[in-house]
Amino acid sequence: MTTFSELKLDPKVLKAIAEAGYTAPTPIQAQAIPYALEGRDILGIAQTGTGKTASFTLPLITRLGRGRARARMPRSLVLAPTRELAAQVAENFDTYAKHTRLTKALLIGGVAFGEQDKLIDRGVDVLIATPGRLLDHFERGKLLLTGVEVMVVDEADRMLDMGFIPDIERIFGLTPFTRQTFFYSATMAPEIERITNTFLSNPARIEIARQATASETITQELIQIQAARRDTAAKLKRETLRSLINNEGDKLENAIIFCNRKVDVDIVSKSLIRHKFDAAPIHGDLDQSVRTRTLERFRAGELRLLIASDVAARGLDVPSVSHVFNFDLPSHPEDYVHRIGRTGRAGRSGKAISIMVPSDQKYLDAIEALLQKTLPRAEAPEVQPAPTRVRHKDRSAKTEAAEETTAVARAPADDAAPQQQPVAATPAPRQETSRRGQPRNPAGRDHAPRERRSNRDGAIVGMGDHVPDFLMREFRSA
């Protein structure tokens, strides 16, 4: 068995690895690190949760041990598709470089430009960034990429899904041609393969598992439901989700629940909270500080259920997630692999349960075609009906009075009821008339007489026996 001490890493890095409790590298680490230390480009294809981050962080720290950073000119660049993944890379760097004097800067959205500018001005050895924020700093003249010695592109297939490929190509053009490049992806779409052929020089291709395969330690289940009406499908899915969570009992230590849309993340989260579940949402529209606090609570075990969009499907390093629920089947089959990869990490067992409605059939077909196997079906749990909501006592009294008044006004005449005494008509005030014989208002504008809607006794008047004069007029010429 290969050990980290056999990989010719910096002794300071080996000390940090030992303090972190690791002794043996994962397969991608064992294969990628020797090539990286030789200075070769790396093309890594591996499923999520295999230790890709350390496979480029460890040799990067070893290589940068010699040299010094200059102001506004980082020595290395790590690109990540999401803020969470970028923050995780920064945490890995802090863990493994704590015995060195290397510096880093994290450029992500939701953080003030001023603080990031100060870090860049001092000079950093490792710059970790999302593509959009990186280009923002570059266009403001605060950053130069001509000193980059090593460039890392992590989760390249996610970059493709999020539309970052043009930005990636531009950033490659801003870095030196002599740089060393690490390029990692779980799948190799044609667009990604074109980039690797263009910007990587004779890379060492490392493929740990078949493209887009799920870990064998994950138990997968598919629950098929069908609502009686289309407009009740979402409600039935939420009821099914709650029943599945309750059925797992103590086996469910914590779980990530994935939805396709941000609005559904909020709806599912509020529904679970209303039914006394410990839940919180995370998606791209939330403030970065809120997202960070929510993830910290989830990692610390203070939060049981994390309801997430696909922003959390990549790169979240929470080793002890026991369950993953797909409230919605993902529209991209690769996202299914990345979602369920949040559980069953580092050799642990996990369980992934997906809820499907008939309209999801095309998504299921694509997922099973990618996995080259049929997802195991499971019986839908018995759904417990939600308790009937009781109105507040004070509100009911007011509502009953209003409803009673409305019902009386709308009710048809009852022969048994006493006849209401007719109300004497009030003579209309004398009005001036126009030359056409129509009433004239004080402003001189012609109009039909306005009918009173009701009298003091509550009788409804208007559009009954009376017909306004303008409806009886004939407008055709003689």
Summarised one tens digit per residue, pLDDT across range 426-452 is 455 555 554 555 555 544 444 444 444
The average confidence (pLDDT) of the chain is 82
pLDDT attached to residue 443:
46
Average pLDDT estimate for 456-478? 62
pLDDT attached to residue 313:
57
pLDDT attached to residue 450:
47
The distance in angstroms from the start CA to the end CA of the chain is 109
| pLDDT band at residue 402 under the 50/70/90 scheme | very low
Summarised one tens digit per residue, pLDDT across range 288-299 is 788 889 988 998
| pLDDT band at residue 198 under the 50/70/90 scheme | very high
What are the tokens at 259? 């939805």
Summarised one tens digit per residue, pLDDT across range 91-119 is 999 999 999 999 999 999 878 888 899 98
CATH architecture of 218-378: 3-Layer(aba) Sandwich (3.40)
Summarised one tens digit per residue, pLDDT across range 21-50 is 888 898 999 999 999 999 999 999 876 667
pLDDT attached to residue 439:
52
Summarised one tens digit per residue, pLDDT across range 307-335 is 998 765 555 667 789 999 999 999 888 78
Return residue ranges of the chain for CATH 3.40.50.300: 4-207, 218-378
Asked whether residue 342 carries a pLDDT value surpassing 50, the answer given is: yes
- The CATH homologous superfamily to which domain 4-207 belongs is P-loop containing nucleotide triphosphate hydrolases (3.40.50.300)
Beta bridge partners of 274: none
* The overall pTM is greater than 0.75: no
